[in-house]
Amino acid sequence: MALDELKSAVPDYAKDLKLNLGSVIGNSDLPAQQLWGTVLACAIASRSPRVLRELAPEAEANLSPEAFKAAKSAAAIMSMNNVFYRTRHLLSDDEYGTMRAGLRMNVIGNPGVDKVDFELWSFAVSAINGCGMCLDSHEQVLRKAGVDRDVIQESFKIASVIQAVAVTLDAEAALA
């Protein structure tokens, strides 16, 4: 099991991450599609080849081909949107906020899976990428769709742990 291999690679000084990784994935109350789509999208967003290599096969085994593609699409589109909207928000010239984005984002409207799942994955990727505007936007859509705060928090717990594991393992590889 790749998850076990990933956990065993986490160094002793980061034991909490190892335990959290097992907990957020192994003990999650999320339905399988929401869980594994979040895991895959976050593994991609973490930018860690090792984390992605270890988690992608398990995600693929737990997702339909459509959901696997949609989770990858969420990571891809949010990598663009997070930079664009975070930059727009950080600029002191409010005029940028009134300008048309002019970027294609069709996958958001037609992701090929349940809209709530795609929004949850987009939210988790936005947590990793640190885009407050996107976090607020996706959280509002999820709440309006009736998603509980516990579910939303579960997605950013997964994002937090996967990102921390990625940073730790990549640092260990660089120091080796």
Give the tens place of pLDDT for each residue, 52-103. 999 999 999 999 999 999 999 999 999 999 999 999 999 999 999 999 999 8
The answer to whether the beta carbons of residues 68 and 118 sit under 8 Å apart is no
Token pair of 57, please?
């096969």
What's the pTM? 0.95
The predicted pLDDT at position 2 comes to 84
Q: Where are the alpha helices (DSSP H) in 63-111?
A: 65-90, 106-109
Residues marked active site are found at 131, 134
121 vs 39: CA distance, rounded Å: 8
Specify the length of the chain in residues: 176
